[in-house]
Structure 1
């Protein structure tokens, strides 16, 4: 994802996999996200660190039988976090209340893709 020498000590690799939902009673470990983001000491997103290192806050979306999507973590002026894959907002995915979420193992995080909300379980948090 990024050269680790460029990252500060606050950066973590986070993996989230699809949690159980209709059609996937056991979830799906083959669908999810790999994130590279700055977290504070409690595991929350660190907006100040993000602001100083925006281009290092990368996202990879993986799904079975589809090409991976690569994007950046972004933040709207009102504080809404989202994932931007290409310029424009047609393919943006919106993070549900990420400002208050703890990115720690076992927690559940939601993302709205198009008009559908999906929940993901964090299965990995580690230093890059």
Structure 2
């Protein structure tokens, strides 16, 4: 069985939903008004870790600096998932040098995992 989620607030929805009962968005309009990159960034808040992981990998491959800070926020929000945070480090390293990338690595210096803090510090020294 396929589970559907609101693309904005990620509550579970019936497949036939047109408007999210939680946040009130029109789902089709939301999909049309947001770019692929913006949808991926929004999906970093998805409740299913495998969905987030796919977005993390894809955002790294797209190499857009706009993703840097949302990636770091994802690592901090789901801080218990160190495997995910390591993938975020790898994705951040793929991004071109930018103020956003530097800020993201600085944010990860506050991560609860010492491994993530160490990887972030190493990335800042390069």
User: Structure 2 length normalisation: TM-score?
Assistant: 0.25
The structure whose residues are more often helix, as a share, is 2
The structure whose residues are more often strand, as a share, is 1
Greater length-normalized contact order (CA 8 Å, ≥ 6 residues apart): 1
